[in-house]
Amino acid sequence: MPRIAANLTMLFNEVPFLDRFEAAAKSGFAAVEFLFPYEYKAAELRARLDGNGLRLVLHNLPPGDWAKGERGIGCHPDRVGEFRDGVGRAIEYATALGAPQLNCLAGIAPKDVPGDRLRATFVDNLRFAAEQFKAAGLKLLIEPINYYDIPGFYLNRTAQALDLIAEVGSENLYVQYDIYHAQRMEGELANTIKANLRRIAHMQLADNPGRNEPGTGEINYRFLFGWLDSIGYDGWIGCEYKPKTTTEAGLGWRAAHGL
């Protein structure tokens, strides 16, 4: 069955962030992911991972000013220097924490910037980051995100991500396929995953509507987990959902789905 990782940004949010590592381990997770490590010292995070027998499977590049609503700066023409500095910072953290791959958030498209300039900026930034990551032994990922949850987000669909990857021309650039976002934007989950399996390096899950745990909405996760096994998906799936009540109360979905 698929390997699942706890997303510590979303799960166990009843406790302080640094205590979520222990909570995840006690709940049976062997791996974790989270959005950003940058407000903590890498050594402190590594101690939490090692002390709880966990591995880190993913984090994101610096996103700009998250608290002020920025959701990445990859497509921002006036932030290229900041983006490239962030690549170096991300590599330092990923290397220290043992993360094999990082996600680059495209960002909300700035107003009054022509579409061709947005695309050219994002392609150039991805080309730079993919090369730097390859030298560091890391994979670079991009994630389509639905425009209902984040209006104006530049990257929304799987086909768009694959088209960008083709233009960048790097074998070190992959899709982070979030099942929840994909369901909201395009559906056709099983066949889309199968057709593009070679370019999907990581997945995330939540049900729809509500972005809660599997079994609370319309997505047939029992089928989907079996489908992923049958087509040979061997990556991790991050549990990036909002618990409907508490994290612990909602974890019964794993047993219900054979996990």
> Which residues are catalytic, by number?
143, 240
- Alpha-carbon distance of 199 to 178, in angstroms, equals 13
How would you label 40-50 residue by residue, b for 16+ Cβ within 10 Å and e otherwise?
A: eeeeebbebbe
**What's the token pair of residue 156?**
């929304």
Answer for the pair 249, 243: CB distance below 8 angstroms, yes or no.
Answer: yes
Q: If you search the block for the tokens 């369901």, which residue do you land on? A: 183
Query: What's the CA angle centered on 60, arms 145 and 160, to 5 degrees?
Result: 35
Closest alpha carbon to 33 in 84, 100, 88: 100
Calculate the CA 104 to chain-centre distance.
8
- Is residue 209 reached through a cis peptide bond, with omega within 30 degrees of 0 on the bond before it? yes
- Alpha-carbon distance of 169 to 167, in angstroms, equals 5
